[in-house]
């Protein structure tokens, strides 16, 4: 049953300010788990909370619990570089990410929560004719899917980013592919916004509740065992980026996934420098600037299996070398903090939103390092699958059996080696 939640607005902030901010209420409840739910979502990260929100708001399924082993948003949505884009190449991917982009564009109004979605654009630099042609192919594929894309030559890049190194670069900048509608969003706020949205429609968000097993009755999944007891459910939907292997193993499943560590970095706060998002593929480097002023940047995954949320020096130095190679003006900015997130890297670099071989058990994962931008569409399509039993048209390719059939979605053409995607 819906719960009344206070509506946020400038007026509200003003009123509370005048009355000593005494009237604010919790953004979500802290309910005790019930014995049964129509749907249990395992994992209170961005995707899980978004799924709950859309189950309730789009499909009217409100008897839903989100079980989170720690605090909500403690996974990759709490530790990413906040980039939102839909500049994919393959038909299995691009329509899905464009759906996500459209959901991003209305997120704040939908959630009544300011996730600071900021469409300041993303540009992927290229340095050779072959790279230009590959980006042209991609830009055209984006247009076919209704997305926006602009192919810029060197002059266009100079205008957009005058601070890059055009005179002395080892790999001279020849141009770039721009997606103006791309940008960044305040990552934590996305989780909080979805949590608040779901909670306000009656979804129970249960933190510090770890799932320890699935209850299977003659081959059908009918609920979970958790650190807060057994909870039965009509459907159980797993959505645990970074723990997919461990959780699905409890259902006896091996996945086409390896877990790797991706590091990210933020500098001390600075007055505005970087307009949007810039990616320098040849140097394994991408960067944006947060509203607080920190330069947020990263590069490749460390490349070895890891469940430790930290990486090592060679990658740190490799990323900074890329940064200095392309924009030597950031040299005297200081790296303030580095951290690692666990990426469920799939065998072709693309995710899964699918039923499993166990009836009643659903799986969403394998997002590699692209999960944040996918959050709204992932929730939307997962909710659609759970509610209707049918895959959403834009996510139909995200099947678990695609390696058996050969219908892989390999954007990089790197083959079945996760650390190359």
CA-based nearest residue to 275, from 258, 295, 246: 295
Give the interface segment with another protein, choosing from 48-56, 66-74, 231-239, 382-390 (CB under 8 A).
66-74
Verify binding: residue 190, another protein, rule CB under 8 A: no
Verify binding: residue 213, another protein, rule CB under 8 A: no
Residue closer to another protein by CB (options 333, 387) is 333
With both helix axes pointing from N to C terminus, report the angle between 46-57 and 371-388 in degrees, rounded to the nearest 10.
Answer: 40
- Scanning residues 280 to 299, which ones bind another protein (CB under 8 A)? 283, 289, 291-293
Number of residues that bind another protein (CB under 8 A): 138
Residue closer to another protein by CB (options 34, 310) is 310
Quote the strand ranges of 99-252, DSSP E.
Answer: 122-126, 150-153, 175-179, 183-184, 204-206, 211-217, 220-226, 229-238
- Scanning residues 306 to 365, which ones bind another protein (CB under 8 A)? 306-308, 310, 312-314, 316-317, 320-321, 323-325, 328-339, 347
Residue closer to another protein by CB (options 17, 219) is 17
CB of 63 to another protein, least distance (A): 22
Residue closer to another protein by CB (options 146, 213) is 146
Verify binding: residue 175, another protein, rule CB under 8 A: no
Strands 122-126 and 175-179: antiparallel
CB of 125 to another protein, least distance (A): 13
The contact pattern for another protein, residues 387-416, with x = CB under 8 A and - = no contact, is: ---------------xxxxxxx-x-xxxxx
Residue closer to another protein by CB (options 152, 233) is 152
Question: For the chain, how many residues are written?
Answer: 421
Verify binding: residue 109, another protein, rule CB under 8 A: yes
Q: How far is CA 126 from CA 3, 155, 188, 277, in A?
A: 51, 13, 32, 15
Give the interface segment with another protein, choosing from 55-63, 217-225, 271-279, 374-382 (CB under 8 A).
271-279
CB of 415 to another protein, least distance (A): 5
Cα(275)–Cα(263) distance, integer angstroms: 23
Verify binding: residue 232, another protein, rule CB under 8 A: no
Residue closer to another protein by CB (options 16, 225) is 16
CB of 232 to another protein, least distance (A): 27
Verify binding: residue 376, another protein, rule CB under 8 A: no
Please give the helix or strand (H or E) that residue 353 lies within, else none.
strand 352-355
Burial (0-12, 13-18, 19+ Cβ within 10 Å), 1: exposed
Verify binding: residue 259, another protein, rule CB under 8 A: yes
CA-based nearest residue to 242, from 86, 327, 326, 364: 364
Q: Rule CB under 8 A: choose which of 120, 158, 228, 230 binds another protein.
A: 120
Cα(223)–Cα(217) distance, integer angstroms: 9
Q: Rule CB under 8 A: choose which of 5, 63, 112, 215 binds another protein.
A: 112
Cα(305)–Cα(301) distance, integer angstroms: 10
Give the interface segment with another protein, choosing from 15-23, 58-66, 223-231, 359-367 (CB under 8 A).
15-23
Verify binding: residue 217, another protein, rule CB under 8 A: no
Buried b (16+ CB within 10 A) or exposed e, 14-47: eeeeeeeeeeeeebbbeeebeeebebbbbbbbbb
Cα(42)–Cα(34) distance, integer angstroms: 15
């Amino acid at each position: 049953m819906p719960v009344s939640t206070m509506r946020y607005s400038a007026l509200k902030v003003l009123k509370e300010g005048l009355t000593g901010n005494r009237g604010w209420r919790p953004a979500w409840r802290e309910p005790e788990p019930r014995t049964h739910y129509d749907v249990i979502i395992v994992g209170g990260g961005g995707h899980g909370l978004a799924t709950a929100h859309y189950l309730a708001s789009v499909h009217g399924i409100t008897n839903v619990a989100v079980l989170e082993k720690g605090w909500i948003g403690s996974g990759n949505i709490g530790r990413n570089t906040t980039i939102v884009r839909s500049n994919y190449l393959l038909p299995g991917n691009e329509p899905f990410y464009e759906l996500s982009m459209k959901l991003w564009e209305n997120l704040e109004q939908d959630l009544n929560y300011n996730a600071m979605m900021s469409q300041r654009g993303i540009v992927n630099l290229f340095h050779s004719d072959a790279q230009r042609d590959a980006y042209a192919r991609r830009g055209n594929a984006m247009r076919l899917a209704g997305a926006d894309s602009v192919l810029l030559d060197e002059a266009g890049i100079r205008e957009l980013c005058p601070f890059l190194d055009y005179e002395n670069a080892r790999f001279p900048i020849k141009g770039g592919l721009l997606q103006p509608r791309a940008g960044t969003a305040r990552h934590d706020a996305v989780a909080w916004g979805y949590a608040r949205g779901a909670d306000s429609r009656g979804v129970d968000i249960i933190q510090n509740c770890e799932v320890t097993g699935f209850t299977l009755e003659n081959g059908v999944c009918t609920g979970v065992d958790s650190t807060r007891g057994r909870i039965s459910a009509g459907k159980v939907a797993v959505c645990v980026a970074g723990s997919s292997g461990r959780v699905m193993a409890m259902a006896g499943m091996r996945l086409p996934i390896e877990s790797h560590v991706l590091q990210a970095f933020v500098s001390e706060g600075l007055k505005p420098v970087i307009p949007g998002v810039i990616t320098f593929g040849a140097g394994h480097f991408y960067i944006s600037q947060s509203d607080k002023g920190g330069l947020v940047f990263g590069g490749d995954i460390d490349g070895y299996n890891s469940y430790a949320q930290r990486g090592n020096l060679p990658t740190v130095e490799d990323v900074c070398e890329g940064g200095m190679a392309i924009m030597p003006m950031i040299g005297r900015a200081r790296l303030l903090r580095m951290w690692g997130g666990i990426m469920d890297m799939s065998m072709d670099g693309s995710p899964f939103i699918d039923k499993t071989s166990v009836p009643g058990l659903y799986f969403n994962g394998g997002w590699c390092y692209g999960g944040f931008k996918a959050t709204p569409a992932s929730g939307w399509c997962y909710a659609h699958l759970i509610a209707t039993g049918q895959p959403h048209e834009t996510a139909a390719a995200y099947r678990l059996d695609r390696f058996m059939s050969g219908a892989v979605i390999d954007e990089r053409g790197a083959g079945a080696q996760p650390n190359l995607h």
